[in-house]
Amino acid sequence: MSDSQERKFFEDIYRIFSSPLSNIDCGEKCGAFNEYGVPVCCDVSLIVPSAYRAEWDYLKDVTDLWQPWRSSNPIDADLEDDVQDGQVLLKCLGYRQCQRQYRTMTCRAFPFFPYLDSKGNFLGLMYFQEYREYCWIISNLSVVTPTYKAEFQQAFNLLFNQYPESKESYAQFSSYLRKEKAISDDKIILLDFDDNVLLLDPDSEISYQVTYEELESFGPFSITKDLNFPDEDPI
């Protein structure tokens, strides 16, 4: 694919995957419990975004929002090893200077990633478990809109078609998580593309539908979830 075609691809995929994941400003919800009020998904000390190399080439040409991420801490060196092949780690100017139209795919997807079963079927959205106590959305999955889930599905299908190695990486990651969940005797929580929330057995891969009210909430959100303030509607 030529440079101009790569540019057009990411222009299109960004346009498709542009809706917020909820109608609530979730950054205000999690930021209240994070240092300096910074939304968790924008705190580079917690989460370092990545971009496909072609995506980074596109972003460099159209915005000053991003620059390569560097760390002098030897502990952080593992992040370079964990990133998918063909991706680079980036940092942005900060949430107060966000240019939403130029968010990376990983920014748009957070706290979710595509879940694939053992046959390679793209079944839905799974969240990164390590952020359960930081991300308000994970304790309030009911607010994720059908529009967002539909755009997530369309965008990643396009990405998988363009970069098959990315689909394989997510398939391997999903397989790894099934093994981890099986060891801990835990179920996988999945948002499907029919607006259902499912519990999936990691061994049999059989899933069944549950209600959002049955799901656990985490960290400080296990308390605030049950509180309704005068200026808020119940979740």
Contact 84, 106 (CB under 8 A): no
118-127 pLDDT tens trace: 999 999 999 9
Separation of alpha carbons 228 and 235, rounded Å: 8
The residues pairing with 209 across neighbouring beta strands, listed in sequence order, are 198
> Is the link from the previous residue into 111 a cis peptide, with omega within 30 of 0?
yes
pTM as predicted: 0.89
Residue 92 falls inside a structural domain? yes
Helices 3-16 and 53-62, packing angle to 10 deg: 90
157-190 pLDDT tens trace: 999 999 999 999 999 999 999 999 999 999 999 9
Domain extent for 62: 3-224
Number of domains into which the chain is organized: 1
What residues in the chain have per-residue pLDDT under 50?
229-231, 234-235
Residue 231 falls inside a structural domain? no
Residue 131 falls inside a structural domain? yes
Residue 232 falls inside a structural domain? no
Residue 234 falls inside a structural domain? no
Residue 202 falls inside a structural domain? yes
Residue 155 falls inside a structural domain? yes
Residue 230 falls inside a structural domain? no
